[in-house]
Amino acid sequence: MTIPNMITIMRLVLVPAVVLAMLQARWDWAFAGFLVAGISDGVDGFIARRFNQFSKLGAYLDPMADKLLLVSAFVVMGFIGELPLWLVVTMVSRDALIVCAVLLSTVMAHPVEMKPLLISKANTAIQIILAAVVLGELAISIHFDPLRPALILLSGVLTVASAAAYLVTWLRHMSGYGEGSKPDS
């Protein structure tokens, strides 16, 4: 059990606290918890790189903790009307499709390597910024009117682009494209 893994587990435990704070309209606590989770994500990554504390467990836990926090925050924000439902459905559908594709390729004995694409990293960054802006607006009762709609639109575009990029990557992987083998009949 490495220090980065312990920090990631703490972030996983923090998710229900953030969600509960959001459901109780305790925006100050929700915003603070979201910020702590975001900072801890950077800290565990820094420690893993700086002190060579990478682990296979961490390679799975870290993105799982990030996704759990983001998906939970987006679902609650959609439920209370702070984010449009089309964006929430698009985000959750994209993540569900990726998980299903990874599971299917594993079941078919052709597992796909988990590597985030650049477009996916940009998508996640915009989603984090959007969630932080919404929680920040609610916590301090100030609205950044031109910023939130722009982030919503950008998040939607990047979510769709990321889903398409992952689909193309997965289809190439499953067909044996670029691996020197022919696809199965």
Residue 62: inside a domain, yes or no?
yes
Q: How many domains does the chain have?
A: 1
Residue 70: inside a domain, yes or no?
yes
pLDDT digits (tens, 9 = 90+) for 59-113: 889 989 999 999 999 999 999 999 999 999 999 999 999 999 999 999 999 998 8
Q: Which domain holds residue 170?
A: 3-175
Signed CA dihedral, 3, 8, 9, 15: sign only: positive
Q: Which of 66, 98, 92 is nearest to 156 (CA)?
A: 92
Q: Tell me the CATH number at 154.
A: 1.20.120.1760
Residue 182: inside a domain, yes or no?
no
**Which residues, other chains included, contact 35 with Cβ-Cβ below 8 Å and sequence gap of 6+?**
132
Residue 180: inside a domain, yes or no?
no
Exposed, middle or buried: residue 49 (CB in 10 Å: 0-12, 13-18, 19+)? Answer: exposed
Distance CA 15, CA 135 (A): 14
Predicted TM-score (pTM) above 0.85: yes
pLDDT digits (tens, 9 = 90+) for 125-144: 999 999 999 999 999 999 88
